[in-house]
Amino acid sequence: DVKVTQSSRYLVKRTGEKVFLECVQDMDHENMFWYRQDPGLGLRLIYFSYDVKMKEKGDIPEGYSVSREKKERFSLILESASTNQTSMYLCASSEKGGYNQPQHFGDGTRLSIL
Amino acid sequence: DQQVKQNSPSLSVQEGRISILNCDYTNSMFDYFLWYKKYPAEGPTFLISISSIKDKNEDGRFTVFLNKSAKHLSLHIVPSQPGDSAVYFCAASTGNEKLTFGTGTRLTIIP
């Protein structure tokens, strides 16, 4: 069965800290995605990656960076955490082949920045 | 600018009746649409999809309808069951792997 694992379910950090969110998929998928989910705003794409070492900005990349050194792992980095980055973060993966490949999601990391 | 809109934040339906969730979009380049379902404390799971060359797609109790001229799609659940209580997101794509999601509708099935 398809599995996307996010390293933490809950995380509390302080303003200004550098924060790493990790995501691992076991399906050998080429594509990986990072979203944030906020009430009334739905899911918004932060960054995505089509292949190892490849990355593209999504709709709200400001304040974030990503790293994909291995195919199965996609990391989201908050360079200097701010309170407006308190949110639910969701990682997803999908097979290459176009838009008709459904994305498979992890269970999310609820991040609080104090 | 919200390109995919779900104007009803919540919906309550009696068990056994039909649930209809709606989604509107503004980008005429969208040509593939998906619905995802999300339970609390879990990630969204894929439910059903439809290509713009079709106007209807069925999978068991779930049917998605697409009206391209109105830029509107809907998800019908018949009959509604308590386990259908969740947040439903519609999503759209212009033909690449990137999806644009709506804001979600919380569906509550009343026993």
**Cα dihedral B55, B21, B8, A84 in deg (nearest 10):** -90
The structural domain count of chain B equals 1
Residue A86's domain is classified under what CATH number? 2.60.40.10
Q: pLDDT digits over B4-19, tens only?
A: 999 999 999 999 999 9
Q: pLDDT digits over A70-79, tens only?
A: 999 999 999 9
- Least confident range from A72-86, A89-103, B47-61, B62-76: namely A89-103
Rg (C-alpha) for chain B, rounded Å, is 13
Q: How far is B71 from chain A (nearest CA, A)?
A: 19
- In chain A, which residues have their Cβ closer than 8 Å to the Cβ of B42? 107-108
Asked if the peptide bond before residue B79 counts as cis, ω within 30 degrees of 0, the response is yes
User: Rounded to whole angstroms, how far apart are CA atoms A91 and B34?
Assistant: 18
Q: Decide if A20 touches B, using CB distance below 8 A.
A: no
CB–CB of A49/A92 below 8 Å? no
Q: What is the mean pLDDT of chain A?
A: 93
Q: pLDDT digits over B25-43, tens only?
A: 999 999 999 999 999 989 9
Identify any residues that bridge with B92 across adjacent strands, giving them in sequence order.
B33, B100
- In chain B, which residues have their Cβ closer than 8 Å to the Cβ of A105? 43-45
Residue B68's domain is classified under what CATH number? 2.60.40.10
Please tell me which residue of chain B has the smallest CA distance to A41. B103
Contact A99 B95 (CB under 8 A): yes
Please tell me which residue of chain B has the smallest CA distance to A10. B41
Bin B66: left if φ > 0, else alpha if -120 < ψ < 50, else beta. beta
CB–CB of A62/A47 below 8 Å? no
The structural domain count of chain A equals 1
Domain that residue B50 falls in: 4-110
Q: pLDDT digits over A5-51, tens only?
A: 998 999 999 999 999 999 999 999 999 999 999 988 999 999 999 99
Q: What is the pLDDT of residue A99?
A: 61
- In chain B, which residues have their Cβ closer than 8 Å to the Cβ of A61? none
